[in-house]
Amino acid sequence: MRGASALQSLLHEFDNAPLTIFVVWEPILATDSAGVKTAALGRISDRRAVQFWDKSHQLSAHMGGPASFGPKSGAKILFDMDEYVWDFVAVYAPGFRWNESSRSPAFAGAPVIKVIPELRSYLSGAPAQH
């Protein structure tokens, strides 16, 4: 939850950047089984965001699970995600299509709150590059 709030604060800094944000909520803790509530969804208030509820962790599976973000991937993963990809943020450059998901994202890190500075740096340069 703190990660989502931190991401929202960062998005505020890039108010006019041409971004689309995909926020995917998934059950990780025992208390998550009831689904995602309005209060949680409200953490990301950016109009460019699209929010999803992924009860069966399909996105995590499509990404290849935590194993695909190992040390060789270049992702900055600072905690053991265990079974599913979560508290995670990835940035995909323009032109990237989902069926090319064997390619790594341009930036990936977890937990979100700890990789905000790197994400900020990336976004400061990335929109201008593409």
**Site of interaction with another protein (CB under 8 A):** 1, 3-4, 7, 17-29, 31-32, 34-42, 44-45, 47, 49-56, 58-60, 62, 84-99, 105, 112, 123, 126-127, 130
β pairing state of 107-110 and 76-77:
parallel
Q: In the complex with another protein, which residue's Cβ is closer, 28 or 114?
A: 28
With beta carbons less than 8 A apart as the criterion, state whether 33 and 27 touch: yes
Q: How far is the CB of 7 from another protein (least distance, A)?
A: 6
Q: How far apart are CA 30 and CA 67, in angstroms?
A: 23
Nearer to another protein, 55 or 103 (CB): 55
Write the burial class of residue 72 (CB in 10 Å: 0-12 exposed, 13-18 middle, 19+ buried): exposed
Q: How far is the CB of 59 from another protein (least distance, A)?
A: 6
CB atoms within 10 A of CB 42: 11
CB closer to another protein out of 53 and 70: 53
